[in-house]
A and B are shown apart, each in its own frame.
Chain A
Amino acid sequence: MKKQNKNIFDYLFLTLISSIAVILILYFNGNKSIQEVIIISFSILYIIWGVLHHAKEHTLETKVVLEYAAFSVLGSMLVMGLLK
């Protein structure tokens, strides 16, 4: 039960980060250089979240980190393509 609660907080935190990124993008619409910084920061925070979450669960492995890194590189490229 305790572990489940801990996970809920982790996911709530990730949802919070995601929501802040969306709000900031909306706020800075039209200012592409700031939007680029927001997307890169969001993607880096996502990797950090993944590493910390798996470290806490003792399931941190290289392939897990690579997975988060690959997803965040793809994700940030998809948005940066639009900001070019």
Chain B
Amino acid sequence: MAHPIITLFAPHPHNNHKAKILWPRSIVILIGLFIMGRSIVDITVGLKPGVLGYASQINPDTVIELTNKERLNAGVTTLKYNSALNQAALAKATDMFENNYWAHVSPTGTEPWYFVTGSGYKYQHAGENLARDFSNPADVVKAWMASPTHRKNLLDDRYHDIGIAVMDGYINGVETTLVVQIFGSTQQTSVARIASSNVVSTVLAEEKLIPESGLSPMDLSRAWSLAFVVLIMFALSLDWIFVLRYNIIRISGKTWAHFTYFAALAIILIIIRQGIVL
């Protein structure tokens, strides 16, 4: 009688020459285990808000600098920091945390322009880019540039002013860092530019990020998913070695194809960056 571990991971006459873990029914069990693990994390987050979280150090100044660098590269005029737009961005970020949402329009129907008007900025054109869970400003701007709609906003030559808010808080019980970027232009742009220059340091000091950084939910999810991928790839490697060595002929899916698919998934799981843009 073969040891259960051997029949689980290696082809053997007792498992019809195919590792039991690679049987479709075992894959269904693995899917169940994966969902169970994820549910435990989700329930923990629900019961103990803040047990998992992600806080980062994103300097709003750098976001503006990188945004302007992209505009210069595209041949568009650079944006000037505007304190009113900055207040609008701060108000939007505060509203998202207070009302527990992640969207351009709040659940009560409040649009971004409400915050722009509320800040006293009389806009002719305005736009908003959102990002969350990024660890550094370069990744935020890179993600916006990779998205056609955000890129269009970022490089729009109708905008002359910019306001940025980076705020740490909790959405759905998970600690997160929000980046709100608001663009605008008004007929009095030159006046706004002059007024803004001395306000930057004060506003940035007020919204200094909390450097506390718990275990990121994404890191935990990544580790959980990678554990399954490694397990499957290990079983596939053993299967491949045994099939080659003992010249096993069987009707089954191609081990090498499964291995290629899971190797690609392993790379994808590693390269997917934290952070969402909206």
Do residues B261 and A46 form an inter-chain contact, with CB atoms below 8 A?
yes
Do residues A78 and B271 form an inter-chain contact, with CB atoms below 8 A?
no
Q: Which residues of A contact B139 (CB under 8 A)?
A: 29-30
Chain A nearest Cβ from B161, distance in angstroms: 24
Chain B nearest Cβ from A9, distance in angstroms: 13
Chain B nearest Cβ from A25, distance in angstroms: 5
A66 to B253, CA, bound (A): 9
A37 to B177, CA, bound (A): 25
A68-B272 CB under 8 A given contacts A77-B34, A81-B221: no
A32 to B131, CA, bound (A): 12
Q: Contact string, B213-254, partner A, CB cutoff 8 A, digits 1/0?
A: 000001001101100110010000000000000000001111
Q: Which residues of A contact B24 (CB under 8 A)?
A: 63, 66-67, 69-70
Chain A nearest Cβ from B6, distance in angstroms: 21
Q: Is A4 an interface residue (CB 8 A)?
A: no
Q: Which residues of B contact A18 (CB under 8 A)?
A: 260-261, 263-264
Kindly report which residue of chain A lies nearest to residue B217, judged by CB atoms.
A84
* CB-CB contacts below 8 Å: A20-40 with B: 21-22, 25-32, 34-35, 39
Q: Could you jot down 10 A-B contacts, CB within 8 Å?
A: A29-B273, A30-B142, A30-B275, A30-B276, A31-B143, A67-B252, A70-B24, A73-B31, A75-B262, A78-B229
